[in-house]
Amino acid sequence: MKYEAAIQYLENLGKFGIRLGMERIEALLKELGNPEQQVKFVHVTGTNGKGSVSSMIADILLASGVKTGKFISPHLVRYNERIELNGQPISDEEFAAIITSVKVAAECITQKGVDQPTQFEILTAAAFLCFAQNRLDYAIVEVGLGGLWDSTNVMLPVVAVITNVSLDHTDRIGKTIEEIAMQKAGIIKEGVPVVTAATENALGPIKAMSLFKQAPLYIYGNAFTTQLVSSNIKKQLFTLSAGDYHSNYEIKLLGAHQLINAAVAIVAAKLVSKQDARITEEALHQGVSVTRWPGRLEVVKEKPDLILDGAHNPAGAKALRAALDQYYSGKVICFIFGMMGDKDTASVENILFQPGDKVIAVKADGGDRAAEATTLAREIGETTLTETNLPAAYAKALSLVPVDGVICVCGSLYLVGNFKKQVLNE
């Protein structure tokens, strides 16, 4: 297949949605020669922060001179973003070739009576095959949904990471924090160290599973902590403490939540370094200092500042609002806001918007899941504006905000991706 045909194949599979379970992915990987057994992995799950933590761990390994891959979801602009080799998305040609190989394997197993693999299972298998073919040392693999029954949960990692646990995807992986935490704790394997910044009710299931699997558990706030030194719109400095270890780090990712994400990533990488001497103290600092993560408090323009953030659940909204209050106190803020209709739109809106804020509601994308702009506007309040397309929404926002203000595009990673394509021409 050519690249366009590979994308069409994936898009067609996407219409069938998500189906949790391991039978299809296990059969598919067996047909491909079990590439997931040929690379060392760090497995990352959590409600928020998976992408940031995965990127920082990958950047630390790359700074160590280690051949490193990364598998994330969803993509913002192009499918290639989901599979990285040594810090770069794979090429169109390599992506098409890998998807073709997996498609052939999928056809073989369906002929044997196995159900057709889902889009995410095809992409997961493609990532594992790509990593094995390129003989990587490590790959950082982000869970698609939950953990226990996610198609990534077929490999044995060297470290497991559970960034945090809050309410999201309640229709699929649990209606309470405890139920969701149990799903995410499903990535914990026998004897494999676990790093988490989960808190309160989420910790019970994680502690229980770690104890059952005899997996060493490192909890933020207990085994390691952070202390902010300084923060501005360009960078943050903080001290990481873990037992007798104290060291200052600099990151470009913004917001108090990113200090915790950075700490989790550093501790995970330090655990990898226990079995790989190439991962040095210098690489820890160098790695996290260069990480940039698109669509997460990403400042893409100035005067006025244009920020893109994919926050789409209450916890993400709290982190975004706290960062806006920290960096833009007293400034005029205009939101270009769109969400998926199956998300907790009311809670996100109540957290994000304050009196005096300007809000332009839009439809996040053209799909059926996206909430209509008029529906969001009714929820938010009578002063909310609506626009039918993103270029018009951005033009309207520019007319509402002074040069020292801020325009924040948020509510969905799909919205952020579409904004990048339609307004920023990425």
| pLDDT interval class at 424 (50, 70, 90) | very high
Classify residue 205 as left (phi > 0), alpha (psi -120 to 50) or beta.
alpha
Whole-number pLDDT of residue 426: 87
Mean pLDDT of the chain: 95
| Tokens of residue 241, six digits | 């403490």
What tokens appear for 417 in the block?
């991706």
- Among 52, 41, 43, smallest CA distance to 258 is for 52
Closest Cα partner for 129 from 27, 22, 2, 39? 39
| Number of residues that make up the chain | 426
Written as one string, the DSSP assignment of 22-63 is SHHHHHHHHHTT-GGGSSEEEEEE-SS-HHHHHHHHHHHHHH
Q: Is 352 left (phi over 0), alpha (psi -120 to 50) or beta?
A: alpha
Model pLDDT for residues 311-326, shown as the tens digit of each residue: 999 999 999 999 999 9
- Collapsing DSSP to helix, strand or coil, 152 comes out as coil
Residue 352 has pLDDT above 90, yes or no: yes
Q: What class has domain 3-290?
A: alpha beta
200-224 confidence digits (pLDDT tens): 999 999 999 999 999 999 999 999 9
Work out the average pLDDT over 367-377: 93
Residues 6+ apart with CB under 8 A from 104: none
Say which DSSP state 79 is in. Answer: G
The answer to whether 42 touches 266, Cβ cutoff 8 Å, is no
> Distance between CA 365 and CA 142 in Å, rounded?
24
| Rounded Cα gap, residues 106 and 114, in angstroms | 9
Q: Which of 407, 226, 252 is nearest to 331 (CA)?
A: 407
**pLDDT band, very low/low/confident/very high, at 42 (cuts 50, 70, 90):** very high
Burial code (b: 16+ CB inside 10 Å, e: under 16) for 84-119 equals bbeeebbebebbbbbbbbbbebbeebeeeebeebbb
Q: Given a cut of 80, is residue 173 above it in pLDDT?
A: no
Number of helices (H) and strands (E) in the chain: give both, helices first. 15, 17
β-strand partners of 340:
370
| pTM of the predicted protein model | 0.94
Per the CB < 8 A criterion, the answer to whether 122 and 99 are in contact is yes
Tell whether the model's pLDDT for residue 175 goes beyond 90. no
- pLDDT of 208: 98
CA distance 224 to 249: 14
Is domain 298-422 in CATH 3.90.190.20, yes or no?
A: yes
Where do runs of H (alpha helix) occur along 223-255? none
Of the candidates 10, 217, 211, the residue with the CA atom closest to the CA atom of residue 125: 10
Question: What is the pLDDT at residue 171?
Answer: 61
pLDDT tens digit sequence for 244-302: 999 999 999 999 999 999 999 999 999 999 999 999 999 999 999 999 989 989 999 99
**DSSP codes joined into one string, 337-365:** E--BTTS-HHHHHHHH--TT-EEEE--SS
Q: Which helix (H) or strand (E) holds 248?
A: strand 245-251
Residue 416 has pLDDT above 80, yes or no: yes
Give yes or no for residue 303 having a pLDDT over 90: yes
> In the 8-state DSSP scheme, what is residue 197?
-
Arithmetic mean of pLDDT, 174-201: 95
Domain coordinates of the chain in residue numbers? 3-290, 298-422
Q: Which two tokens stand for residue 248?
A: 């200052």
pLDDT at 167 (0 to 100): 76
CB 106 within 8 A of CB 116: yes
Residue-level pLDDT at 170? 59
Map residue 333 onto helix, strand or coil: strand
Task: Indicate if the pLDDT at residue 73 is higher than 80.
Answer: yes
Helix axes 345-352, 314-327, angle to 10 degrees: 10
* pLDDT score, position 146: 86
Three-state DSSP at 177 gives: helix
